[in-house]
Amino acid sequence: MQAARGTSVDSSDSGSADRRGSFLASRAAWVLFAVVAAVLYAADQLSKRAAVEHLSRGEDVQVVGDLLQLHLTRNPGAAFSLGTQFTIVLTCLAICATAVVLWASRNLVDRVWAAGLGCLLAGITGNLTDRMLREPTPFRGHVVDFLQLPNWPIFNVADIAINVGAGLILLQVFRGVRMDGTRHRDDEDAA
């Protein structure tokens, strides 16, 4: 079936936002989401493993002079080492956030949203893995941080992924683009 101007309205189009009966809104966007999440999660876990192996001696490594150094620390709290007494709560929040991101990913059509949510998932699950598997105990594990900038708390690849993901999501929100690729302005124009 053809719509006006020769565009297809067949629901089998890969860019179609209307996927009734399909679990995922767009397989292509979901694959992008999954690949971004998997690659960044792997980078986070491998970099943390390398940091623990090579920085455990207590020696800092200067990467770019005083601008970027490698310094191993274990953080029981949230960003900026806040809430160090609430590690279990932070772990439960991360589990909930993971479920929300996975649930939301079913509606992805827009590629920027897909990349943003993929980054967010990688960061959340990267730090959640530390909280579940690292010492002292499950749900109380300390997150491995090792990247240090001057006058800034020490962080890791998962933290970078969370910030990039949040930035991409905010960009789309400010542009008025929804996860399904539609724009908020389209609704106003139709009314």
Catalytic residues: 145, 159
Token pair in block for residue 28: 């292509």
| Residues of the chain under the 50 pLDDT cut | 1-21
Handedness of CA 167, 169, 173, 177 (dihedral sign): positive
What is the reported pLDDT for 17? Answer: 43
pTM recorded for the entire structure: 0.83
The candidate with the shortest Cα–Cα distance to 121, out of 22, 9, 33, 32, is 33
What is the reported pLDDT for 186? Answer: 57
| Distance separating alpha carbons of residues 134 and 56, to the nearest angstrom | 15
Handedness of CA 12, 28, 128, 174 (dihedral sign): negative
Residue 44, phi then psi, degrees to nearest 5:
-65, -50
pLDDT > 70 fraction of the chain, expressed in percent and rounded: 84
Using one digit for the tens of pLDDT, what is the confidence trace for 47-66?
A: 999 999 999 888 889 999 88
The candidate with the shortest Cα–Cα distance to 123, out of 81, 89, 60, 167, is 167
The candidate with the shortest Cα–Cα distance to 63, out of 150, 125, 165, is 150
